[in-house]
Amino acid sequence: MRGPEFRVLGGRPEGVTSLHVDDELETRSRIVVVGNGMAGARFVEEVLDRGGDEQFCITVLGDEPHGNYNRIMLSPVLAGESHEDEIVLNSHDWYADNGVTLRAGVRAERIDTAAKQVHADDGSVTPYDHLVLATGSYSFVPPMNGVRKDDGSLLPGVYGFRTIDETRAMLEATGRCRRAVVMGGGLLGLEAARALQGHGLQVELVHAMPWLMNAQLDAEAGAILKRSVESLGITVHLDVLATEVLGTEHVEGVVLKDGRRLDCDLLVVAAGVRPHTDVAVRSGLEVERAIVVDDQLRTDDPDVYAIGECAQHRGSVYGLVAPAWEHAKVLADVLTGTDPDAEYTGSRTATKLKVAGVDVAVMGVSTPERDDDEFLVISEPKRGVHLSVVIRDDKLVGATLLGDTRKVAFLTQAFDRGAPLPEERIRLLVDLSDGAAEMGVAEMPADSQICNCNGVSKGDICGAVADGCGSVGAVMDRTRAGKGCGSCKSLVKQIVEWAADGEVTEDASASWYVPGIPLAKPELMAAIREQDLRSVSAVFAALAPAGKEDAKSKMGLTSLLKLIWGADFVPQKDGEFINDRVHANIQRDGTFSVVPQMKGGVTTPAQLRRIADVAEKYEVPMVKVTGGQRIDLLGVRKEDLPAMWSDLGMPSGYAYGKSMRTVKTCVGSDFCRFGLDDSTQLGIDLETRFQGIESPAKIKMAVVGCPRNCAEAYVKDVGVVAVGGGKWEVYVGGAAGATVRKGDLLATVSSAQEVMTLTGRFLQYYRENGNWLERTYDFVPRVGLEAIRAVLADDEACTDLDAGIQRSIDAYTDPWGQDAGEPATPGQFRTSLPLVDLPMVPVR
Amino acid sequence: MSLTQTAATDSPAIGTPTEHVVGRLDEIPMGEGRTYVVAGVQVAVFRLRDGSLHATQAACPHAGGPLADGQTDVDVLVCPLHLYAYRWSDGGSSGGAGPLRLFPVREQDGDLLVTA
């Protein structure tokens, strides 16, 4: 095969290595890597990344004469879509530049584990301190008469599909061949068939199993794939073995077990791979299906390790690159001492690929295995689409997407991380509403706007990833995407994952309650209680790294401390957002809005008269009826706030806080001819009891007197619906903002008093368990309605919830009444823009 | 109507910068900011919990937000309107807005002195 045109891929002309010091002068320990494929080379990279070149002198023995190349990309090379130079991962120069000795074209033959030496086919003997076997796999050639010549080599015209040399030979053969038979209907076989067919050959595919890609797909999906492949013009023969290869000097055809003869002048054998274990076997290492390793990738010899496709870990042998790369990371951690206790515990494999022009994504199991596994299938054979998921104990344990992989980002996440699943399982596979956001992220044009609040496009996000932002949080910090209303966060995440092609680092901070304290909410609450931390500055001093305060964490901590300590909280104004400092909602020009409390949306002529007088006296630019059934005075100067509150003589409506805001009501049974119960009074009572209660995010409630839902109770954080006979339904987790969601029915109760109790318990459970800024419409599906019901059925838990919410209710004071007379801090209401003539908002 | 028209009032007066007494240190609560008019320019002065003082232009360069109403830590000032975070060190922000104009500020005998 090595003719005069032979060229070393990613190589120097002579294909040799760098200078290195004499062995006697070498003080570093020696790592020898056998195998220069994707696992071996990645391992070397991981060691170098950890500064391992100071500890170790590294030698790599590679059977192939080339630098390291991306084996996954051989199919596009065979198809003529990629040039072979494009698939080089590490050239010979890279090894030289990094002080790694690459001995390419040298095959290890035997290891003397006692003397700790590697014997190679060039007669060399290489001593090691640590030996890493990364010998990979080879194409399995099933036994067939005539496939090999007498010397054991393959009959000319017969090729495996594993290396760049085999790929080059096939490419070269396409020029003079007309008919090809591909043996094997797995991934590689299908890709080879498609590539050869693209070169104009007539291709027949022979697969021993009853359907294509049987290792990954179920029968039905395999049948749909067969139709798609046949529509390309490739003939498929299933469930049949080839028994004989015809031809003496060159392949002329194959004979199938049923006697049929297929003529060909090119035969590709892609009937699976087998781990390369011969070196390990000869060296006396334990080998079953592959080289047996423990959780630190160690073989039964303490200084010999195996990674990648040649390793068998806990009974599993992987044929994918992702586990090989995980092996490389763990072993690099262990050997360099970066994390001496690092362990590999197995991989959950998910793959997304294009096979013979058809998009395929598979992860986990393809069919249900237990009686109570949930199995959802959507099959559209005409469109060539077959989608299925397998769910076990509310977790995704398998998914198969054929012909339509738009949902792969979410499913991969759910599969890898056990993310919560939508209750309506069908949403795993199809989007039930339409709109741009539902388009697959891959298909979106680069200029489509993702974050409408901050005007961030898909291209901006991809640009940030290309510039090296390796996590969703880093991309959000750089682009500000998702930092407005937050409704686009999941889409941002999908795009980052797509753009980074799966190489996303998990934000450690994603689980923290606030970014400046490295603790999740339960641990943070425990630490605050244990160390008796009652102010924001005390929390930073005790729990932040180096005691360093963080501006963006202060608001969340203030809320949490109020929750924990109630009246015993030690307030610090700089721990509050400006809205909470001055009890009003800041507007775009630096003025504020004033919303007096109007319980249940019920007011009086006297109240309205006072509001009108105040609006005139202070020249309020706009008076507006709000969505929450109150009256908003907009465009108020900060310095006017205390005097306005005094003149109004009404309590704050909390229209500015991450707190309980308003309870909308309908006119109920007192007035409405359809009303079933007194929704107005219940709304007033709820607002009175829970007024101003701080929470992870704002809380909106409503009570309606019948299911006509005039006050929109079905789409509130807590919505109460009278159903007659004194009964009320309590819905939680509804929303009608950037997200629209009907609330989930938490319970049906028999009295208004029970509604009050249940609402208090739900609120307290949400306050204690919700993430900062997590609205109930995210919280309820995340935790699960059943889990919430279980808590509310637990008497002991309810006693604690009742006590917790009561502590906050007891701590309530009206902030307007409190700060109107005497400012809480010097200059609390001083203007911050003295030279700007406010208001600048339009006057109506 | 453009809120950034306030930028004119944030430009320094023509002439050599001089140091002015603008107010008293105890007028600013710990961790907060207050705005003063210095030589015809509005300047926001911040007193951090580590004892350090910082002075910046009063209106956010992004959309004119009142920076003295923002939240602080030892590294940054966060504007209350759109949460752009500006570094005390150079006035720049990771989100690309700015930079903020910074003014020298110090305390002497309880007085706040700003150079503008």
For chain A, where do the domains classified as CATH 3.30.390.30 start and end?
Answer: 350-432
The yes-or-no verdict on residue A411 having pLDDT over 90 is: no
B67 vs A832: CB contact, 8 Å cut-off?
Answer: yes
Per-residue pLDDT at B9: 45
Cβ neighbours of A747 (radius 10 Å): 17
- Chain A, residues 475-504, CB within 8 A of chain B, namely 477-478, 480, 483-484
Q: Nearest to residue B19, comparing CAs of B113, B102, B107?
A: B113
- Which fold does the domain A158-271 belong to in CATH? FAD/NAD(P)-binding domain (3.50.50)
Per-residue pLDDT at A13: 44
In a domain, B6, yes or no: no
CB A194 within 8 A of CB A185: no
Per-residue pLDDT at A15: 42
The yes-or-no verdict on residue B14 having pLDDT over 70 is: no
In a domain, B5, yes or no: no
Neighboring chain B residues of A573 at a CB cutoff of 8 Å: 29, 31-32
In a domain, B102, yes or no: yes
For the residues B40-64, what does the mean pLDDT come to? 95
* CATH code: domain of residue B103: 2.102.10.10
Write the single-letter amino acid at A372. D
Q: What is the CATH number of domain A23-138+276-336?
A: 3.50.50.60
Average of per-residue pLDDT values in chain A: 89
Residues flagged as binding site of A: 666, 672, 706, 710
The yes-or-no verdict on residue A441 having pLDDT over 90 is: no
Per residue, what are the HEC states of A570-585?
CCCHHHCCHHHHHCCE
Q: Nearest to residue A585, comparing CAs of A506, A638, A513?
A: A638
User: What is the spatial distance between Cα A192 and Cα A234, in angstroms, rounded to a whole number?
Assistant: 11
Per-residue pLDDT at A405: 80
Per-residue pLDDT at A17: 46
For the residues A625-635, what does the mean pLDDT come to? 96
If you write DSSP's letter for every residue of B28-86 in order, what string do you get?
Answer: S-TT-EEEEEETTEEEEEEE-TTS-EEEEESB-TTT--BGGGSEE-SSEEE-TTT--EE
For chain A, where do the domains classified as CATH 3.50.50.60 start and end?
Answer: 23-138+276-336, 158-271
ipTM: 0.90
pLDDT one-digit tens code per residue, A241-280: 999 999 999 999 999 999 999 999 999 999 988 999 999 9
A552 interfaces chain B, CB cutoff of 8 Å = yes
Chain B nearest CA to A549, separation (Å): 6
Per-residue confidence band for A597, with pLDDT thresholds at 50, 70 and 90: very high
B76 vs A830: CB contact, 8 Å cut-off?
Answer: no
Q: Nearest to residue A205, comparing CAs of A181, A223, A225, A224?
A: A181
In a domain, B15, yes or no: no
Percent of chain A with pLDDT strictly greater than 70: 95
Per-residue pLDDT at A312: 95
CB B67 within 8 A of CB B6: no
User: What is the spatial distance between Cα B62 and Cα B68, in angstroms, rounded to a whole number?
Assistant: 15
Residues 6+ apart with CB under 8 A from A191: A75, A78, A79, A355, A356
Q: Burial code of A6-28, b = ≥16 C-beta within 10 A, e = fewer?
A: eebbbbeeeeebeeeeeeeeeee
pLDDT one-digit tens code per residue, A363-383: 888 888 888 999 999 998 888
Per-residue pLDDT at A347: 79
User: What is the spatial distance between Cα A625 and Cα A644, in angstroms, rounded to a whole number?
Assistant: 18
Q: Which domain holds residue B35?
A: 21-115
The yes-or-no verdict on residue B103 having pLDDT over 90 is: yes
Question: A20 or B75: whose pLDDT is higher?
Answer: B75
How far CA A161 is from CA of A89, A179, A662, in Å, comes to 19, 17, 68
Q: Tokens representing A177?
A: 């061949």
Q: Are strands A266-269 and A273-275 parallel, antiparallel or unpaired?
A: unpaired
For the residues A672-693, what does the mean pLDDT come to? 95
> Which chain A residue shows the shortest CA-CA distance from B34?
A832
For chain A, where do the domains classified as CATH 3.30.413.10 start and end?
Answer: 660-810
Neighboring chain A residues of B68 at a CB cutoff of 8 Å: 832
The yes-or-no verdict on residue A24 having pLDDT over 80 is: no
Per-residue pLDDT at A439: 53
CATH architecture classification, A438-511 = Orthogonal Bundle (1.10)
In a domain, B89, yes or no: yes
In a domain, B16, yes or no: no
Per-residue pLDDT at A12: 57
pLDDT one-digit tens code per residue, A43-79: 999 999 999 889 999 999 999 988 888 888 888 899 8
Least confident of A137-146, A588-597, A599-608, A680-689: A137-146
For the residues B43-47, what does the mean pLDDT come to? 97
Mutate to test the interface with B, among A549, A553, A558, A583 (most CBs of B within 10 A): A549
Per-residue pLDDT at A79: 87
The yes-or-no verdict on residue B6 having pLDDT over 90 is: no
Q: What is the CATH number of domain A350-432?
A: 3.30.390.30
A826 vs B65: CB contact, 8 Å cut-off?
Answer: no
For the residues A567-587, what does the mean pLDDT come to? 95
B32 interfaces chain A, CB cutoff of 8 Å = yes
Per-residue pLDDT at B15: 63
pLDDT one-digit tens code per residue, A77-113: 998 888 888 888 888 889 998 999 999 999 999 999 9
Chain B nearest CA to A443, separation (Å): 27
A831 interfaces chain B, CB cutoff of 8 Å = yes
> Which chain B residue shows the shortest CA-CA distance from A831?
B35
Q: How many domains does chain B have?
A: 1
The yes-or-no verdict on residue A512 having pLDDT over 80 is: yes
- Which fold does the domain A660-810 belong to in CATH? Sulfite Reductase Hemoprotein; domain 1 (3.30.413)
The yes-or-no verdict on residue A526 having pLDDT over 70 is: yes
In a domain, B84, yes or no: yes
In a domain, B12, yes or no: no
B58 interfaces chain A, CB cutoff of 8 Å = yes
